[in-house]
Amino acid sequence: MDALELTVWIWLGSFVAGLLGALTGLGGGVVIVPMLTLVFGVNVRYAIGASLVSVIATSSGAAAAYVKEGYANLRIGMVLEIATTFGALLGANLAGVLPADVVAVIFGVVLIASAPLSGRPPAPQAHGGKPDPWATWLRLDGSYPSPDGPIPYHVRAVPAGFSLMFVAGALSGLLGIGSGAVKVLAMDRAMRVPFKVSTTTSNFMIGVTAAASAGVYLNRGYIDPGLAMPVMLGVLPGAMLGALVLDRAKSALLRKVFVAVILLLAIEMIYNGATGRF
């Protein structure tokens, strides 16, 4: 296919990636990296560079809508971004050392390990007992809108969530996926934040995380404007559409989409990385 046709196909794939990323809180990078490497034969490091640019676009597109609708918790996002930013710088520097096949296998392992955890419903909100002292001090508790009015929630295990966010940032810098999977799991499972709040806050956070590591990739020449542009232009409208759909979507459906997508992509990435196809 010629350059124009290739660009159009990359744009369409990126649009779908942005839609899924916004709905699940993964960020479009979780689909874009396998799509570019497995379907279009792009070098994995350039795919990660384009993915990081798209992750920034996804966050910018969806986060504004989520904040306006009252889903994203800005205080949680800003506190946890401290950990993810330092982790992202570490991961981006590791990416320049590890072989491409190893990066691909790590990508698949991370996704497949996330699937069973994300598929389970979150632990019920703990309304009794003493409030979490860190959540109280940082004023992280909040509420999110519903047809029956605002639903309050309490944040738990802030230190554990903060530690997991450092891991999420490192994976973002290493794999270019926005690390939404780990962010959602940390907030949903460890910190007991409602799923819709977790996914929307994750989208709010991933832009800053990706920007920290994108600078390292840009400095090493792994961001190609000709590739990153159609990816970004596809992800952005997909993310905006996903933000609109999320308002009427059910959390159970989002979890099924989440699990199906990451399992399929994980198997492909592990197989191709293990057989040296990158």
Question: Residue 208: what pLDDT?
Answer: 78
Q: Which is higher by pLDDT, 231 or 126? A: 231
pLDDT tens digits along 97-111:
888 788 878 878 877
Distance CA 103, CA 268 (A): 13
Which of 56 and 232 is assigned the larger pLDDT? Answer: 232
Give the C-alpha separation, 166 to 235, whole Å. 25
Residues 205/179, Cβ–Cβ less than 8 Å: no
Average pLDDT (84-88) is 88
pLDDT above 70 for 40: yes
The predicted structure's pLDDT at residue 115: 63
244/59 Cα distance (integer angstroms):
14
Distance set, CA 203 to CA 24, 68, 115, 122, 270 (Å): 9, 13, 19, 19, 26
CB 174 within 8 Å of CB 52? no
Q: Give, as one character, the DSSP assignment of residue 122.
A: P
Packing angle, helices 100-119 and 44-69, rounded to 10? 30
pLDDT digits (tens, 9 = 90+) for 234-275: 888 887 787 677 666 665 666 676 677 777 777 877 877 787
pTM: predicted TM-score of the whole model, two decimal places = 0.72
| Residue 221 CB neighbours (<10 A) | 10
Domain ranges, ordered by start, for the chain: 3-274
Token pair of 98, please? Answer: 């590890």
Q: Does 63 score more than 70 pLDDT?
A: no
**End-to-end alpha carbon distance in the chain:** 21
In angstroms, the CA 218 to CA 224 distance is 9
